[in-house]
Structure formats: structure tokens, C-alpha cells
Structure 1
Amino acid sequence: MGQPVNIGVVGCGVIFAQYLQTIDRLPGLRLVAVADQDLGRAREAVRSHAEVDVLSVAELMADPRVDVVLNLTIPAAHAEIALLAVAAGKDVFSEKPLAATGEDAARVLRAAAAAGVRVGCAPDTVLGTGTQTARKAIDDGLIGRPISATAIMMTPGHERWHPNPDFYYAPGGGPLLDMGPYYITSLVTLLGPVTTVVGAASRTRAKRTIGSGPRGGEEIPVSVDTHVTGVLVHASGAMSTLVMSFDGAATRAPNIEVHGERGSLAVPDPNHFDGPVLLKRVTGEDWETIPAGAGYTEAGRGVGLADFAATPAGREPRAGGALAYHVLDVMESLLSSAHSGTAVTVTSTCERPEPVALIPLG
């Protein structure tokens, strides 16, 4: 199996604990150092891990033990930290999105290519049994040729539960940039890359009120669209309808549905790793549950990091930079279409990621 891959984490906020659980579970990963702009928060985050060093960002980048920098900072800092890692000659795996803008994401990929290091990016939820079992059903021809899909996320907004939700309503945030990566990455995994988009968007409130934590009751400004909808035309010819909103209470619609010539699939929440995949055949009377037949079982945040670390040199990781850049390009193109009122051609593309066999995690 070789030696574990040494991980250095930058950013010890809310999502860090979930990654830590996965790193602790998997023998192929070893956490050696963390950094955060708040060193007290970093120390608290690894209080139960005495072997992990708490360093400054500069010290972590210079640490020769660190093989991969896990970038868990806010979206606005993703490119800055990724470029520091690349300059230090280290692979980098980032939380989504790859950067706050496509221009910054492209800079990261160009720098990584020049330095001979690799870039990976969440979401990795699509590597779980939910999306992967649905993909296998499509690849096995259970619904025939895919024709269309719907993807819907409806919530009142993250300020209700997150104690510091400011970045959700700043550039790089909003329902599309925050939650869209889960849904669009799943759609690309299921149906392939996107060539054209048509979008519409709105912003209903100038301020939001924090609903929990020490800042409860404080108002924060909203500088992004909070309801985005559109149509994605895939290179395969299939069309997906997307709704991403922080302006609704809830929805009873399936998170994702894929419709083909011979049947339809209900795909579980792409923000989770598992969940039932339902199939309705044109010739059948009822929906049937497809047993989990592909994907990492019992997966958690960070399985994409493990998959990235285990990907042989010369092969694009499943949760790789090219896919993450394409997804970001799709989202920016959708917003551009919404603001211009015209269809927009997506200039980037990527390979449909390789499928995941049914793989139990240790």
C-alpha cells in the first residue's frame, strides 16, 4: 500500500471536522499540520490530535512533510491559498468552488501545470453510492438514451444555522456558487459536459439576519443573486433544468431526476454520499429501488481527497481540477446569461469522470 500521503490543512472552520473524521478513518491519509488565520481556532480543531502541528500558512507551505495541501478556506481565499501551495511544489485539493472566479481558477490550473503538480476539488459526494449507482444505471442502459434532467435545491438560506454566514452572500457565494457545484458536478457525472446555458436570476433582499450563534440577530449585506434558474445543454444532447435558491422554504421535488427513452431515475441529494436511487420504467407500474451497485460505501467528506491521492500520475483525478473548472465555468456562464438575457456558450469542457466501482471504505 506504500506510505500514507501527508496532509496539511489550511482553514479550520465548520467543515474541517468532517474532513478530519475521514482522514482519521483512512490509512492512506495522515494529517501532519494545520493552519488558520485564527491560531486559537486551529489549536482547538486538533486538540485531540497532539501529533498534528499548528503552523502559520507560510510555515505549512514550507513544511517538507506536507504532500498535499487541503484548502478549506472561504471561497474568496481559495485561489490565493492554492497558488501558494503550487508555488511550494505541493499538490492541492480544495473545497468547492475551485476559486471565486473562473479567471482565478484558470490561473491556478495554469500554475499547477507549469509546476508539475496536481489540483483536485470538491464536491466528492458524487463519488458515493447515490450518484454512482445512478450513473451505473444510465451506463447500463436502464433508462435508454438520456433526454433530460431536473436539479432543484430550495432553502430559506444558510444564515438560519451558520454562525458566520457572510461569505454565502458575498462574491463566490449565493445558492449557485455554494450549492450548485454539488448539483452540476452530479449532472456532468451523469450526462457529461455542458456546451450552452440559458439563465435567469433574482435577488429578493438586500440584507439577511443571522439566526444562531454569538452574532444572532445581526444583519449582513447580500451582494449576490439568491435565486438562479436555467437550462444546461449537454454535449450529449440531453438538457438539464436547474433551480438553485435561498428564497424558498422547501420543495417536495426530487433533488435530481434523469429522464430517458425507456425510463426515469430519481437520484438522491448530491450533497450526500448515499441514498436510494429509484427507477420508473416506461413498461413498469411502480418505482423500484436499485440496490447500491457503484461508488464508495460509507463515505464522508474527504473521500475525494483519498481518491485524488490514490490516482496514478498522468491520470486526471475523478474530483480533478478540469472538472471543477468546467463546473465553475458553467455557473459563471449561467449568471452571465441571466444578466444579459441571452444564451451563453460554455467555452470550457472536461472528460466525464471515470466511474467508481462498488468500493467499501475502511
Structure 2
Amino acid sequence: MGSKEEKSIHSLDQLQVPTTLDKFIEELPERYVEGQINKEIEEQIDIEWNAFQNDLKKKEPTFRKKVVIFSLSLAAAFGLFIGSAFVSPAMAEIASKIPYLNLLFESEQKPVIDEIKEALDGKGYKWDGLGVSVQPREVSVMIVGTDKYYNQVKSEVEDLIKDILKSRNYNAYDVKVSKAPVMEEPTAEEKKESEQYHKIYKIVEEVLQKYGYNSLGQRNGISDELIEFELPKTESRIEEIKKQVRDRLKQKGFDEFSIKVYTFNPQKREREGRWMPIVSTISDGLTAKAEYKVKLVGYTNKFDYLPISIETTLSASDTDSEKIVEAIEETVQDYLHSEKVRNIIKNDQYEINIYSNKGKKLN
């Protein structure tokens, strides 16, 4: 677990590139625009560079396995890096020295879902429900309005999204444009219930803030008879806090509620916060390249070590499965052993588990 000898990297001092890699990466998009990178590369990238996705899901409870499905959030500039040859042999050499996943991790490009949103708003389209998913690989959006308006703008919206995806070399996604269902006006009773919910939530939140907590936590809920929120297991004043919530609600005229407090391990929660962007990058990178045949990436924060599960579409009949599994593991380990990621991981133990489409462990 978490052990692998690092590969030596030869010096790049002799290469004819900018003095720092950061500067080189920063200038890469401009160099491309100015024609310093061979235009024929684009065709190859269109074949090799698959789409990435951003639908970052709200984290589930600590002791449940999480399936990590992440949104499009990676750099088009790095799309020119991966799987391509550069005008300068030195550029090709330096690209080969950088772990694939590290290129993605250090990218700061705006997520594609944000770019699409801004483009839709910029054109004045009436839309709702914009989403980017991996299973299926799809960008979807709903048009709000009459049938006439929907039919008028459907093709335009579809072309707009396809153009954005093409500009990023994201060629693996379908685009689905549909009509938003007509939403009925909430009844007076529904409006009253919504107002009550927000009042109760605010009261609980105010009590927790007095004890140093800024929210109700990841596991929270309010129903007719039950209020749920979350506190660290190291908190010694849980019963006192519950009493304060009840008293405050009573002062505001609310009926008696049952109160359930979930507890979590602060150390594991802190570890989860550090690992989330790392697992996100692994998920984005592996699902984006068709040759890895990766369907989903997940993890669990239950144990003292952190198991990462990589689900593939490989079957027993795939003659190249062993080679693909080796490529996946090497790619992930190269990334996890890079200096920047090691500083984030610290001394955490982890385990990489790669599975077939039938759930059989392959490594």
C-alpha cells in the first residue's frame, strides 16, 4: 500500500525551453494561437483526447463508499500536450517527462460546464438543468419556454455546446437538448412549508454558530418531527447543543422536535478533504482516455488506509487486459509519487484496486 520506487528523471537543462516549466505551460495556449505548434496535431488530438466531466457530487456520509463522478474541469492547453508531437523535439521531450495526471491536476482552466453556462447566458437563452455526466457521456440542458421557443433555439443551443466541446477537443460527449417540463405554481400550503423549513434551518444554524460551527454538516435534514445535523465525535457538548436547539425552537413557537446528531472522525474528514481533488484528477484523467477503458473511480474513507477503486470495462476475453491494467496502475502511481501530490498526501497509506466489468480484481 502506498509504496513504489520512484523513477529517475533526467535533467532537462539542455532542452531549448523556457527556464521554468510553469512559464512554459502558461505560454502554451498563446504559442498555439501564434502557430508555433503544428496545426496537424489537432487531428490527432481529436482522436486521442476524450472528454472530461464535472458533476461534482455532494459527499456522502464518511463511512459509505463514494462513487466519484466529476465534471469537466481540465485544461485545453494540456490537451495539446497529451498524445501529440510538437514542432520542437525539446517540447516533445519535456512533455514525456511530466506524469499525465499531473498535467491535469495543475490545470486552472475554467470547467467546461461554466463556459457553457456563460455562453448560454451571453446569448440570452432561457435554460435550466445544465449537466455534464460520464455515465452516459453526455452534456444535457433543458430549454425553458413554449414549444415554439424550444423549436426555434434547439439547434442553436446544440451547435453552441458542440462548438465549445470541439474547441477543447472533447470529442467523446453527446449533446442532449430537451424541453423543460412546465412547473406548476406551488400551492399556499407548499409555500408555507418551505418558509417553515428555512426558519427552522436558520435557528439551528444560529445555535451551532455559537458553538463554533458554520453549518449543519454533510448529514443534515429537517422533517415534520426530526431535525438532523452533524458534529465531530470530539465534541463534548452534544447534549447541551441539542438542548439549546430545542429551547430556541420553543422560543420561536415551534413544536417539539426529535433531534439526531451524527458524529464524524475529524482526522478522517480532514484526510478526505485532501484526497478529494486528487481522486477527482484520477477519475477525470482515466475516464478521458479511451485506451484505459475506465468506467468509474471511487474510494472509501472508512479504514485507516484509503482504498481507491477503479472500475473498468475489461472482460475475461480481453487479450490486452494485463497490459491495460499495468498502464493504469503506472499512470496513477506516477501521479501519486510526484512531489506536489506527495506533499498533499503526506504519510497517508492508500491502495489501488482495479476491477473488471464483473467486479473481479485485476491487480
TM-score normalized by the length of structure 2: 0.25
Give 1 or 2: higher strand fraction: 1
Of Structure 1 and Structure 2, the greater helix share is in: 2
